Structure 1
């Protein structure tokens, strides 16, 4: 198969060029060949690897788990118990995030219901945002939950 530039690899996998470079820098993708002018040149197996990484990231697997999964691929005859453990850890993490998101949803609904309109100075939504103790649910750290979700193109 012919070698391709980083732009063509990006187009073939829908992964941004900057993300491809990042995956190279952290060792998820092998260092590509270089042309005489220094341009990155990728073989066809880079497409497969990048699609694998992207799909794993879309499913929320952290980079460390993706690295583990890639390292396990080199031994196709090995039992897949380790892969199963990694997938189960990810499922547990997804369940934890869902619980947090449900608490976040309940708190936001409660804040919105408490809002009676009126003036900004007496807004219950702003009051709840300003003082966490006004919240009914302690387990709704939405920033942490949402930060754990994969972004498109990454």
Structure 2
């Protein structure tokens, strides 16, 4: 049985951005526990390894009560069952996100009608931020400190 007070926020988080962090904070205000689930996502060919993405995500949420980070490589619905999460959190930045997220929400609902999907929008100042934009900047040593949580920026700088 799932617990609607536990929310699962799945994503690739390659890397986790201020937009993702904003969604985590908003979800934390709505639910008793937020499980941030970092997907393996081999099909997306991430810039950072799963372990690196987990480490960055843990660093970003360090000190936030009732938020924990896990890695996964199975179906999101299966992971929700494992963590007894009754809600999936998805972020929406723009209309361009909506169609994909709607299809994903319907798919997840077809797999388990008891788990709800809740869509949250980041604050407007974070709405343009995406991991792909950050990765492109990183490839060219562009400025990213205004796009990433400070702890994540530090990890990336130390890695390079």
Q: From the CA coordinates, give the structure whose radius of gyration is larger.
A: 1
Q: TM-score of the superposition, structure 2-length normalised?
A: 0.26
Q: Higher strand share goes to which structure?
A: 2
Normalising by structure 1, what TM-score? Answer: 0.27
